[in-house]
Amino acid sequence: MVIIGIVLAVTVFPSEEKRVRKRFRLLSEWVSKSPGENSFTMLQKMKNIGTLFLEPCELKAPHESLSGSYPRREISAYAGSARSHFSQLDLKLYDLKVDFPEKEVAQVTLTARLIGKATSGEHVDEIHELECHMKKMDGKWFFSQVKVVEVLKK
Amino acid sequence: MAIHRRIRQFFFPSFTPAFLIRVCLVSLFAYLFFSYLCIPFTIQGTSMEPTYPNGGVDFCWRLRYLLSEPRRHDVVAVRFAGSQVMLLKRVVASEGEQVEFRDGKLFVDGLEVVESYVRFPCNWNLPSRRVEKDCVYVVGDNRSMPIENHYFGQTSKIRVMGGPLW
């Protein structure tokens, strides 16, 4: 009974770290694209991606053109546009290290690997280390800042 | 007969408790050694050719810089993402030094550096820049591509995981 109780408590009331990790799982699931994905799924995923981000979310990347503060709508549109260039896409997120520097604030360091096949037939395999800041609002965690770590600076 | 028995015992050992303990200890040691001290990796990419060809296998020796700092001409493994993805590059300058490329030649603090390991033609030009504190400047040996297509620059010493075994 005690064991069942513990299992139920962990399942029904997951820890904050598990909730944060779940947001990354959703991001990975929604960014990924299987061959022959239909328009309905594509639109649904596009819409869902935006719901993971805070309004607005800051993006910091070594390429200046990508850096900036974006509203959800733009993030969804950008994700949709980027996904449309691929016939197959797989976003893998691993080595997640979750810290809580303040209450309702999470800082996550992770490795993101994007493997895909462009519609032009080109094979894509990109790896980056990301630093994400998340904020908890209304019981849910949202990305407030996503930074691509610049390992080598010319 | 004794030799035969020993050879047979070596290849077909009896599953005694002592043998199982030995297997466990060897496995544990191998796991710790190859996970944290001597990490195997495969080279993907041509950035360090011809010194380290694409597809080669090597080990990252983590204790290489335990008591010393990376120095010019050292080949180092730089942590790129997570604990599994590393960049293999060569240190060309240390903190406080000025790095510059003129017509494919490397200059550090205004003096030309002879680099015998650079075998392919290079025509890079990069204005002078100072290497920041606690950083090293790393470049690949293969500089035959345009400068925009080669991933190089300064990185924090904390990211230097060690050096290749060979």
Q: What is the pLDDT of residues B17-38, one digit of tens each?
A: 988 999 999 999 999 999 999 9
Report d(CA A53, CA A96) in Å as an integer. 18
Given CB atoms, is A104 within the 8 Å cutoff of chain B? no
Nearest CB to B153; choose among A94, A129, A153: A153
Average pLDDT over all residues of chain A: 90
**Tell me, what's the pLDDT at A1?**
66
**Tell me, what's the pLDDT at B4?**
86
Q: With contacts defined as CB-CB under 8 Å, which chain B residues touch A153? A: 153-155
| Burial (Cβ within 10 Å: 0-12, 13-18, ≥19) of residue B18 | exposed
Give the residue among B153, B159, B6 at the shortest CA–CA distance from B85: B159
Task: State the DSSP code for B132.
Answer: P
**Tell me, what's the pLDDT at B1?**
65
Nearest Cα residue in chain B from A94 = B82
Report d(CA B98, CA B110) in Å as an integer. 7
Inter-chain CB proximity B154 and A127 less than 8 Å: no
User: pTM of the full predicted structure?
Assistant: 0.82
**Tell me, what's the pLDDT at A12?**
60
| Chain A / chain B CB contacts < 8 angstroms | 42
Question: Is the predicted pLDDT of residue A13 greater than 90, yes or no?
Answer: no
**Tell me, what's the pLDDT at B13?**
84
Asked, as a colleague might, if the bond just before B50 is cis with ω within 30 of 0, I would say: yes
Report d(CA B10, CA B74) in Å as an integer. 42
**Tell me, what's the pLDDT at A129?**
94
Sign of CA dihedral A115, A117, A118, A123: positive
